[in-house]
Amino acid sequence: MDGWHISASSPHVSENIIIIGRNACIILRFEIFEIPNLQSATPLPFRLRPSSFRLSLASLPHHAQRSYSFAKMPVPRYRYFSPADAGQLSKLQITARQVVEGVLTGLHKSPHRGFSVEFSEHREYVPGDELRHLDWKAYARSDRYYIKLYEQETNLKATLVLDTSASMTFGNKLDYARHLAACLAYLLAHQQDLAGLVAIDDQVRVELAPGSTPAHLDMLFRHLETLQAGQHTDLAHQLHALSERLPRRSLVILLSDLWLEPADFARSLQHLRYRKHQAMVLHLLDRNEVDLAYDRKLTFQDLETGEKVQVEAAEVRETYRDQVQSHLAAVGKICNDSEVEYHAMYVDEPYDKALLRLLSLRE
């Protein structure tokens, strides 16, 4: 089958190129050097089979587009994930802070004991155990045979829970959440963990079981693009139901503005923890809804009920700020009491920088 040629017109080009195909979503780094005695438009000595993958010329920087010549090929482009995101995330990791259960060897501690690298405890030798795991120093001290046990490492099953209620449209929080969800899904898949997606408001809009294949990642990105904001919210009830459906010892990453009753939220987190799930809450906020930084008469409209009220911003600002800060403090305390990771994120910070800051704090 005829392949496609890549030719270089610069003496040395080094670029990250995203490869997307039927079963691929990876980043390659091409190092292309000038070949002596060949004209600049001569095809380089390698060929790309169209049945294997497709290259996105549009995803390259402008100077790189001038350096390569590609056959014209249709390439899917994602609205909430870009090659630049992949390049920034490729060296990062997201790890579980408690034990998890998975099916592959990975980065995270498992509740099961095995023979790995991190020592856990001893148990007495029984016939059939491998002699290479005997602790001879313990035998010298006690005259008894002991086997050294180690923590197994396993892969993580994570579910990204996206709040799609109408309040998430204020300040474009929903788009911000979609960018974060796409980046987190890519990061999890990149480290061979499983990422799923659940979008909820007063009902489940999307539910995609955890997976890590390129085809699964492509489907997750497509779901993020087609999601529409709902009207009402029933986040607490949906979290209760999700706690029962998820595989045990999963990681739940909630992306929401958390405008709900704190007591209901507390019970839903307690249910997650009772079911042995870990949870991370990414609390998305717009500074205008926190500070009320307006100097005119405003019409407030509840995006979920449609109720309206007119107020003079300067007259209610202090009381408003006190009530919002009280709510934020209550939400943070609930997460702390439930042993749930909590991170407040303001949507005026670029999502890539916010994610890098978040992951650096977790190290």
Q: What is the pLDDT of residue 354?
A: 92
Question: Given a cut of 80, is residue 195 above it in pLDDT?
Answer: yes
Mean pLDDT of 139-152: 75
**Which one is predicted more confidently, 34 or 172?**
172
What's the CA gap between 134 and 125, in Å, rounded? 8
Cα four-point dihedral sign 25, 31, 36, 41: positive
Q: What is the pLDDT of residues 71-102, one digit of tens each?
A: 333 446 899 998 888 877 776 777 654 443 33
**Per-residue pLDDT tens over the stretch 236-254:** 999 999 999 987 778 999 9
Q: Say which residue, 128 or 217, is predicted with more confidence.
A: 217
pTM confidence score? 0.66
More confident residue, 293 or 342: 342
Distance from C-alpha of 48 to C-alpha of 75, rounded to nearest angstrom: 15
The SS3 call for residue 325 is: helix
pLDDT at residue 68 in the model: 40
What does the block give as tokens for 30?
A: 């091409």
Alpha-carbon span 63 to 7, nearest angstrom: 14
Torsion of CA 214, 219, 222, 223, to 10 degrees: -140
CA distance 282 to 270: 17
The pLDDT of residue 132 is 76
Residue position matching structure tokens 């060296």: 91
Q: How many CB atoms lie within 10 A of CB 159?
A: 24
Strands across the sheet containing 278-285: 204-211, 194-200, 157-163, 251-256, 278-285, 341-346
Domains of the chain are: 4-77 (no CATH), 111-154 (no CATH), 157-362 (3.40.50.410)
- Provide the b/e sequence for 81-108 (b: ≥16 CB within 10 Å): bbbebbebbeeeebbbeebbbbeeebbb
Candidate from 45-49, 198-202, 207-211 with smallest mean pLDDT: 45-49
Q: Find the angle CA(102)-CA(187)-CA(351) to the nearest 5 degrees.
A: 135
Q: What's the residue count for the chain?
A: 363
CA distance 144 to 137: 10
Mark out the alpha helices in the chain (DSSP H runs).
Answer: 62-67, 83-89, 136-142, 173-190, 214-226, 235-245, 262-274, 287-291, 313-337, 351-362
Q: What is the CA radius of gyration of the chain?
A: 26
Residues paired with 17 in a beta bridge: 28
The mean predicted confidence, pLDDT, of the chain is 75
Query: How confident is the model at residue 363, as a pLDDT?
Result: 67
Beta partners for residue 253, in sequence order: 160, 280
Write down the pLDDT at residue 87: 78
Strands 194-200 and 118-124: what pairing? unpaired
Per-residue pLDDT reduced to its tens digit, 208-220: 999 888 889 999 9
